[in-house]
Amino acid sequence: MKKVLHVLTDANMGGAGRYLFNLLSGWDYDRFEVLVACPTGGELERQLGRTGIRVFALSGGENSLKFEHIKELMGIISREKIDIVHSHASFSGRIAGKLSGCRVVITCHGLGQGKNGFIQRVITGTLSRFFTDSIIAISRAVKISLMETGVPADMIKIIYNGIDLSRFNNVEPRLKREFGLAGRSPIIGIVARLVPEKGYEYALKAMPVVLKKFPGALMVIVGDGPLRQALEDLCRELEISEHVVFLGYQDRVEGLTADFDVFLLPSISEGLGLSLLEAMALGKPVVATEVGGIPEVVKSGVNGLLVPPGDDRALAEAIIKILSSKQMAFSLGQAAKNTVFDKFSARYMAEKTMEIYDKILQKEGSR
């Protein structure tokens, strides 16, 4: 049986980590054995340790390009006789894979490739062209971003994020019960890292307008990141601190999202948000920005509402529109659920990924 080593640079359960768990939930372990290398000491390593999958902890913390990681990975590849290295944003993984004679696949999760500085774009494009056999883009927008760095279109295969749909049947809401929020309504929820590209400042600036119409509204923010203090300061400046709750990082997020009345994704840059798909799978009405891969999933007025990025007034109006109509909230939510269950399963994502593995292994010179 062929062996695949997934290499991740984020020690926490961010987008790439959740993507990997979804991918493995649809995996055919009779076709490919899976191993994982990731930075030591994080939530990702702990969660993977419970699955029975073999995990190799990389020393030295998180870094996309690190000489020590290249050496460690080459050692793992040699000892374990790895056939394919599947890298998630790790330059070290791509280099180690190619230097070891492996086939290399990368999944690009975001839109940064074409927007970085000139030198960064050159590095990204060079590594993608010469140290990679195939590239998976999680949306059409990500593919375009990659092509802007000079990557040939025929190297890039679009495979949309898929989720483990079994997690979204009979989900028990736990947000209000576990966090003492019983009686708080309506709840506007966001699940995303606290980083600039997620557009949190616009969501917070929308809240005073929402509160004029719904004085009891509460915004629940699930996620951690470097902007937490700045966002808490902004809440105080806007005098909305009593209406915003920061929960930090949480696992089993579906039980929290199940208590949301509206799911909000105010990103100013987005490949294709997993938290968006998860909220849609729960039948939640969504308000999101018209950026990146989001419009490839959300059709405004059909299965959610889209607004321009960086427009807090438009965010507020869309939230109010949904909260003002139970019928609209229900119909958008049902259409959202149908979209995800029809087109975004982990099983389909896994099958298409394994097809790429089969194809690159057939190339001359593979093991």
List of domains in the chain: 2-162+345-361 (3.40.50.2000), 166-343 (3.40.50.2000)
3-state DSSP assignment of residue 5: strand
Contact between residue 102 and residue 84 where contact means Cβ atoms under 8 Å apart = yes
Q: What is the pLDDT of residue 211?
A: 99
Residues in the chain: 367
Share of the chain above pLDDT 70, in %: 92
Q: What is the pLDDT of residues 296-331, one digit of tens each?
A: 999 999 999 999 999 999 999 999 999 999 999 999
Q: What is the pLDDT of residue 121?
A: 60
Taking phi over 0 as left and psi of -120 to 50 as alpha, with beta for the rest, 110 belongs to: beta
Residues of the chain falling short of pLDDT 50: 113-114, 366-367
Q: What is the pLDDT of residue 68?
A: 85
The angle that helices 326-343 and 274-281 make with each other, rounded to 10 degrees, is 110
What does pTM read for this prediction? 0.86
Q: What is the pLDDT of residue 56?
A: 93
3-state DSSP assignment of residue 245: strand
Q: What is the pLDDT of residue 9?
A: 85
Query: CA distances (Å), 69 to each of 60, 109, 113, 116, in order?
Result: 8, 21, 22, 23
Q: What is the pLDDT of residue 60?
A: 64
Q: What is the pLDDT of residue 367?
A: 47
3-state DSSP assignment of residue 29: coil
Outline where DSSP puts E strands in the chain: 2-8, 32-39, 54-58, 84-88, 103-108, 134-137, 156-158, 187-191, 218-222, 244-248, 262-265, 286-289, 305-307
Q: What is the pLDDT of residue 84?
A: 98
Q: What is the pLDDT of residue 90?
A: 76
Q: Specify burial of residue 268 (Cβ count, 10 A radius: 0-12, 13-18, 19+).
A: middle
Contact between residue 252 and residue 179 where contact means Cβ atoms under 8 Å apart = no
Distance CA(224)–CA(80), nearest Å, equals 35
Tokens of 163: 């989720």
Question: What is the DSSP-derived secondary structure letter of residue 240?
Answer: -
